[in-house]
Amino acid sequence: MCLFIFHFPADALHLRDTASLAFLLAADTLIYPAAMTLGGMLQGLALGYAIIPRSRVYSSSVAVIGGEMLVSGVGRFLSMPRSRACL
Amino acid sequence: MVGVLMAYPLTQGRWNQRCLKNVLTRGCSAVFVVTLFVLAVACYDSRRDPQPPVNPHVIRLTAILSCQFIAGASQGLVVACTRLMLNRVTPPKSQVTMAIITVVLACTGTGLGPMLSNGVRQGLVWASAPAAPDELTALGSTSPGAVNSVSLAVLAFLSALWLAAFALVTPGTNDGVPIPLGSVRGPSSQPQLGEAFLPVETDAEAAQKEALQKKLFVTYLTVQTERAWLVSGLEVVTAMVMEEEFEISHREIGLAVWGPASSSRRRSWFSARSPRRSQIHRRC
């Protein structure tokens, strides 16, 4: 996605060098809050309405701890080397 | 991951808010003190020592990375436990709002961190050599001991501030407290959040509702993973593009990636810096 932002829209808008960097940072400024807000909304929906009573799997503890495990253990851990490998 | 796993046994069984608060307060105090002590020892300027260690840089790097591990584990533990404690006292209708508030506060703190460290660094530069011709000269004349002392003092102040806030604000009983988005009676009064639905329902409706709940649960985990993948990948690639194509320093890259809103003030980033855009373009 970063490459998509950095190359194709910048080329289409005839942005060169520093302008494309500013475009990339502007896109980051929009993408980060949107992604984080989406995650927060879905977490709230899950904790509010997806918890099944007396269930050991679909519980609030598993939701919070499993979510943090997937975020840090899968998303952040694997995404960085994969992104660098793509470049 | 280690910190989040450590939170699992703490949050199982009968919920005891006082016990969990005491464990978190004392555990985090011990972790803060140990980490600051190890960091102070690691950052000690060994050049003034009459008998410096054999490999001072390796020892220092190992100690600093160990502190990073300890800090990451304690952060995971604190985040998981505080999120669960907040979840216990929040009614279902306010969960979304509280989750968004949590995310906003976390993002604000994450963005302010690099700005704070940059401010401390800039203050040291101004205080040490106000008449220096440029920043690098001023930094070169700064005493490493002064840098370490100021950095550790700032870290100790922030740690003490967090501990004081946690100890004062977090309730110590299971009764709960009124929260801004709706008063609740406490964790023991609402152990089953999923029961806030229709009072009478058939077996088919119950099965359908349970299937929808499971679907929402799995969707939540999937989207959280995808969100973390997207944000982390974007950070890494942004940093890589800024480093390889524009030759921006590591310190300014960190400031830009974690505080994109402040990037417009750094006009030097957008000046001509021998861009090598065609190289990455060819590699793609």
Beta bridge partners of B284: none
pLDDT confidence of residue B279: 45
Considering only CA atoms, which of B94, B1, B73, B86 is closest in space to residue B30? B73
Q: Does A52 touch chain B (CB under 8 A)?
A: yes
Domain that holds residue B130: 1-194
Contacts with B, A 54-83, CB within 8 Å: 54, 58, 60-61, 63-80, 82-83
Contact B192 A53 (CB under 8 A): yes
Q: For residues B268 and B262, what is the distance between their CA atoms, to the nearest angstrom?
A: 13
Mean pLDDT of all residues in A56-68: 85
pLDDT confidence of residue B151: 77
Beta bridge partners of B179: B182
Contact A78 B229 (CB under 8 A): yes
* Min distance B84 CA to chain A CA atoms (Å): 7
Q: Cβ distance B120 to B148 under 8 Å?
A: no
Q: Does B19 share its domain with B150?
A: yes
Burial grade of B32 (CB within 10 A; 0-12, 13-18, 19 or more): buried
Report domain extents, chain A: 1-50, 52-87
Q: Does B24 share its domain with B97?
A: yes
Series of mean pLDDT values for 10-residue runs along chain B (284 residues): 75 71 83 81 61 65 79 81 78 81 83 78 71 58 68 84 85 61 46 53 82 90 88 82 73 64 41 44 41
Q: Does B114 share its domain with B185?
A: yes
Cα B38 from chain centre: 20
Q: Does B177 share its domain with B221?
A: no
Beta bridge partners of B182: B179
- Measured between beta carbons, which residues in chain A are less than 8 angstroms from residue B234? 1-2, 28, 31-32, 83
* Min distance A13 CA to chain B CA atoms (Å): 16
pLDDT confidence of residue B186: 45
Q: For residues B212 and B136, what is the distance between their CA atoms, to the nearest angstrom?
A: 60
Q: For residues B27 and B209, what is the distance between their CA atoms, to the nearest angstrom?
A: 41
Q: Where are the alpha helices (DSSP H) in chain B?
A: 2-10, 17-42, 56-88, 95-128, 135-140, 144-169, 203-246, 250-258, 277-283
Work out the number of other CB atoms within 10 angstroms of the CB of residue A47: 26
Q: Does B229 touch chain A (CB under 8 A)?
A: yes
Q: Does B41 share its domain with B172?
A: yes
- A and B: number of Cβ contacts within 8 A: 227
**pLDDT tens digits for B56-100?**
677 777 877 887 788 788 788 888 888 887 777 777 777 888 888
Domain count, chain B: 2
Q: Does B218 share its domain with B187?
A: no
- Measured between beta carbons, which residues in chain A are less than 8 angstroms from residue B88? 60
DSSP 3-state of B182: strand
Q: What is the DSSP string of B178-201?
A: -BTTB----GGG-S-GGG-S-SS-
Q: Does B66 share its domain with B183?
A: yes
- Measured between beta carbons, which residues in chain B are less than 8 angstroms from residue A23? none
pLDDT confidence of residue B177: 54
Burial grade of B214 (CB within 10 A; 0-12, 13-18, 19 or more): middle
Q: Does B12 share its domain with B135?
A: yes
pLDDT confidence of residue B23: 81
